[in-house]
Amino acid sequence: MPVRALVDVGEIFGLGQNSIRVALARLLARGTVARDERGRYRLGYAAEAINREVRGWRHIEERIVAWRGDWIGVHCATGRRGGARPRSAQALRFLGFRALSPGLHVRPNNIDDGIEGLRERLHGLGLVDGALVVGLSDLDLHSQARARRLWNADAPALAYRAMRDDLARSEVRLAQASVEEAMVESFMLGGRAIRQLVLDPLLPDAIAPGDERRALVARMTEYDAFGRSLWAAFMQSHDLPYRRTPADLRLADGTDRIARFSAATAR
C-alpha cells in the first residue's frame, strides 16, 4: 500500500498524518511491515505467521479432525511468576493451549496439522527454541478430567451468538449510513468477528460443541463480502487489492498496542 493510501484511511478513522507515519516507522523497525520501494509498504517477516493464521479464518473447520481422546503437550521454561514467558504464552494462547501444570500446556490432538505441523506453527508464532512439543496419550483419569475443564465450554458459544446478532444489525444500519461511517464500522466489527474465529481453540465437540462457531463463519462470510463492497471504491481509487482478508497486526503480540499507540500519538 502506498503511504498516501494509509494516510487517507487514517483520516477516515480519525488518525492524523503524523500519527500514521510515526506508527509506520515503529512497525518498520520491528519488521512487522516492510518497504518495497519509496512510500509503499507491505507486511513484513514478523507478521508472516500471523498473516497465515488470519487468512485461514474461512476454513478453520477444515483443520479439525476426529478426536481420539489424546492430547498435545508443550513443556517450556516458565517466567518469574510461574507462567510461560510472554512470546511463548502468546503462541500457546493463539493455538488454544492451556496450562495443566506449571510449565506444561495442553490441548486436544484434533488439529489436522499433527504434532509436527503444530510444532512449526507454534515456533512461527513465537514459542521459544528448546520447548518440547509432544503427544500425550496416557494421562491418568484425574488429569484427563482436569484437562477437559481448562476451557470454558459455554462462553464461546454465547460470544458467537452475540457477534452474529451484531453483524446482522450492522448490515441493516449501515445501509443508511454515510460511506465513511460504513467503512469504519464494517472494518472494526468485521475485524472483531475474525479475531474471535482466529483465536478459537477449535476444541472437539466432546468438550465444546462448535455449532455456534460454524454459524459465525457462515455469517461472517456474508458480512465480509458486504464490507468489501463498502471499501471497493476507496481501494480501487488507490489501485489496491481488496478481495483478501487483511491481517490484523494487533494479533502479532496478542494486544492492541498498535491501536493504543496510534490513538496516543493522535492526541
Q: What angle do CA 159, 206, 152 make, to 5 degrees?
A: 35
Average pLDDT estimate for 72-87: 74
20-78 per-position pLDDT tens digit: 999 999 999 999 999 987 778 999 999 999 999 999 999 999 999 999 999 999 998 76
The 10 Å Cβ neighbour count of residue 140 is 8
Query: Which among 69, 207, 78 is positioned nearest to 140, based on CA atoms?
Result: 69
Query: Which backbone phi and psi does 2 adopt, to 5 degrees?
Result: -70, 150
The architecture that CATH gives domain 63-148 is 2-Layer Sandwich (3.30)
Q: What is the pLDDT of residue 250?
A: 54
189-228 per-position pLDDT tens digit: 999 999 999 999 999 999 999 999 999 999 999 999 999 9
CA distance 36 to 2: 10
Cα maximum dimension of the chain: 61
- The amino acid present at 236, given as its one-letter code, is Q
Residue boundaries of the structural domains of the chain? 1-56+245-267, 63-148, 153-244
Q: Is the CB of residue 5 less than 8 Å from the CB of residue 256?
A: no
Average pLDDT estimate for 101-118: 93
Q: What is the pLDDT of residue 240?
A: 83
Q: What is the pLDDT of residue 204?
A: 95
- The amino acid present at 112, given as its one-letter code, is D
Tell me: pLDDT of 263 over 90: no
Average pLDDT estimate for 102-110: 95
Q: What angle do CA 136, 112, 62 make, to 5 degrees?
A: 140
Q: What angle do CA 189, 190, 193 make, to 5 degrees?
A: 90
Average pLDDT estimate for 107-118: 94
